[in-house]
Structure formats: C-alpha cells, structure tokens
Amino acid sequence: MLVLGIESSCDETGLALVEDGHLRDAVLASQADVHALFGGVVPELASREHLRFMGPLYDTLMQRQGLRLADLDAVAIARGPGLLGCLLVGMAFAKGLCLAGNLPLIGVNHLLAHLLVTGLDSELVFPSLGLLVSGGHTNIYYFSSPVEARQLGRTLDDAAGEAFDKCGKVLGLSYPGGKLLDALARRGRADAHLFPRPYLDNSNLDFSFSGLKTAVALYSGEHFAKPAWPVPLANADDAPQELCDCCASFNLAVVETLEAKVRRALDRYPDVRCLMVAGGVAANSLLRERMTDLMHKRGGVIHMPPMARCTDNASMIAYTGYLQYKAGYVHDLSLEAVPRGRAIPEDWHAVS
C-alpha cells in the first residue's frame, strides 16, 4: 500500500511516500528564511510559497522514485489545524490528484500525526500518552489506538515553543529562538530558583507559559542592556556566559513544568506504558533526556521522532494517513480544512 502525504499547514511544504508502513522518500521546502525577516510566520507569504513549491516538489519526488500517479493507493493531506490559506493550497493539490487518479483522500490531524510518526522508528504501543510540544500547541493526549485519541490537557495561553521563541526575542536571539536557546542553555549553569514552574498548583493537565515569558523579560530588563545585543544573536559561540546561564534557567523551568504534568498524567493512567513526545520542542536536548529518564524509571518506553521529524514534515502525514487507511477510514472530496482554534471533526467513513 503506497500513500502520498502532503503537509502545508504552516511554513514547511512537504511531500512524502509511505509504503506498507515504511518511509520510502520525502521532500521538504522550508520557508524559515522568508519569515525570519518578519520575526514570525506571515500567513499570506506562507500560502504563496506553498503554491510556488507544491508542484515542483511533487514532480521531484515522483520522478526520483520512478512513480506515476496511478502507482499511488491513496493521498493523505494535513487538513488542520493550521493557517487556512496554507492548508487550502495543500488541500486543493491533494484533491486534484485524487480526482485525476480516482484515489481515496485521507484527511489527517496534523497534531496527532506529529506523535504517531514515532511509529516509523519503533512499533507503536497502546494505550499510550502523547505530549505534543510545538510552536503552536502544548497538548497531552491519551491514545487507545492510532485512530482513537482523547485530549487530556492543553495550554491556556502560549505554547511551549512560543515561550521559547518569545523569550528568544526578549533576550535578543534571532528567530525562531528555540534551537539557539537550547544550545545556549547547554553552555550555561541553571539556577533552579530563578524562574517559576508555572501553573502546577492545580489538579489539571493544562499548561500556562505566558507568565514565564514575563519573568524572563523582567530579568532581562534588569540584567542586560537594551537592546541586549546590537544585532540578533544567531550563533552560540558569540554568547556571553550570563546569557547562557539565563537560557539554562529558563530551559529548566519549561522542561520541569512539562515533566510535572506528564508525571501527573502517567499517575492518572497507570495502564499506559508508552510515552510519545513530539513537535518542534521535542528536539530540545534537556526535554529528551528528562522524558527518557522518566519513562525508564517507570519501566515504560519512550518514543520520540529523530530531529528531522520533530518539526513539520510530510512523512508524519503519509504515515498517519497509512494508519487510518489500514484501520479502514477515509474521506471524500468534500473534506474541509480546519483552521487553528477549531476542533478537528472525526468525519471519516469506512473504506468501500
């Protein structure tokens, strides 16, 4: 079974082929440079870039693999959540392929796909918990199977990645700040008391990171000149020690907050033996270390994608589409894109 997956929900245009549950090939065009000029993703620019890249990337992938449309068994598309204009570019392309090739269309929840793609590297285990930590989301899920997931917690304000990026901005780092902040943190000494572990004094599995950003902004105002550095810092080698120490303290605060809520979720669902951690922030070195330790101490397993599949990619869409198809679920050409902030409906139907 050969499934083509298409990703265009934000600022990465990707296409990938998954064959019988194995990744056959993938292509990706990142727009990070375009948006870096503006300090964030500009939706209209992102849609235009998807439009520019989608066709050529499809041709590259199919030619590289010596495939024609008729060789595909299904097309999986990231239907949301995401930027609506961006989603619609991928959706129109996917529907066009399905119409031309008389192929089934499979709508994939981009968020669940981030977690389920761990199945490309290790066998998925159910029930499992999923911690999704990306630029736009911080969610905890309970998965009974690849097609049955229940959201247990979410962020009430900033997502974990957003907190990294906003703190990066406050500290004068180039955008997006998460990866560099992680690198700086590795060179610094963390002070566990410098920043709070926000929103733990409750009994829920939700998060709130906006106060942490304010704490870093206050600290930065008191300790660093304004602007902190003449040009945004892009390289860890140029960083002063006090900045590295501040990054290490912030990094520790975010990671320990995530860890506390995941531990709480694991205590509540003792049937769970597997934790999946994914999304851009899953590339964070301390988070990977702490989550691995946590599961090993509990005698469970941890699944995290390799770095290249932590951020947006089409392999996760093709693989999740494959899982849905195998479970007997598809959509039709009436499939709708779902913008950020709206729930993804389970409107699939049985494979006929």
* Residues contributing to the site for ligand KG4 (CB under 6 A): 10, 134-136, 161, 164-165, 176-179, 182, 279-281, 283-284, 311-312
Residues 6+ apart with CB under 8 A from 108: 5, 76, 77, 78, 79, 317, 320, 321, 324
Query: Which partner, Zn ion, ligand KG4, none, binds residue 164 by CB below 5 to 8 Å per kind?
Result: ligand KG4
Q: Which is nearer to ligand KG4, 50 or 179 (CB)?
A: 179
Choices 51-59, 127-135, 193-201, 321-329; region in contact with Zn ion by CB under 5 A? 127-135
Q: Under the criterion CB under 5 A, does residue 182 sit at the interface with Zn ion?
A: no
Residue 25 C-beta: closest distance to ligand KG4, Å: 21
Residue 290 C-beta: closest distance to ligand KG4, Å: 13
Buried b / exposed e over 49-69, threshold 16 CB at 10 Å, is bbbebbeebbeebbeeeebee
* CB 61, CB 15: distance < 8 Å: yes
Residue 137 C-beta: closest distance to Zn ion, Å: 8
Radius of gyration (C-alpha) of the chain in whole angstroms: 20
Choices 16-24, 205-213, 269-277, 309-317; region in contact with Zn ion by CB under 5 A? 309-317
Query: Which partner, ligand KG4, Zn ion, none, binds residue 130 by CB below 5 to 8 Å per kind?
Result: none
Q: Which is nearer to ligand KG4, 3 or 181 (CB)?
A: 181
Residue 351 C-beta: closest distance to ligand KG4, Å: 29
Q: Quick count: other Cβ atoms within 10 Å of Cβ 211?
A: 15
Q: Which is nearer to ligand KG4, 281 or 330 (CB)?
A: 281
CA distance 82 to 10: 6
Nearest residue to ligand KG4, scored by beta-carbon proximity: 280
Residue 191 C-beta: closest distance to ligand KG4, Å: 19
Residue 308 C-beta: closest distance to ligand KG4, Å: 11
Strand partners, 143: 128, 149
Choices 19-27, 133-141, 187-195, 238-246; region in contact with Zn ion by CB under 5 A? 133-141
Query: Scanning the structure block, which residue is given the tokens 């469970």?
Result: 300
CA distance 240 to 84: 41
Q: Under the criterion CB under 5 A, does residue 312 sit at the interface with Zn ion?
A: yes
**CA-to-CA dists, residue 19 to 23, 25, 75, angstroms:** 6, 9, 12
CA distance 149 to 111: 11
Q: Which is nearer to Zn ion, 134 or 220 (CB)?
A: 134
Of 3-42, binders to Zn ion (CB under 5 A) are none
Residues 6+ apart with CB under 8 A from 213: 158, 163, 166, 167, 170
Residue 70 C-beta: closest distance to Zn ion, Å: 31
Q: Taking the CA atoms of 180, 182, 187 and 190 in sequence, report the sign of the dihedral they define.
A: positive
Q: Which is nearer to ligand KG4, 21 or 40 (CB)?
A: 40
* Residue numbers at the binding site for Zn ion (CB under 5 A): 134, 312
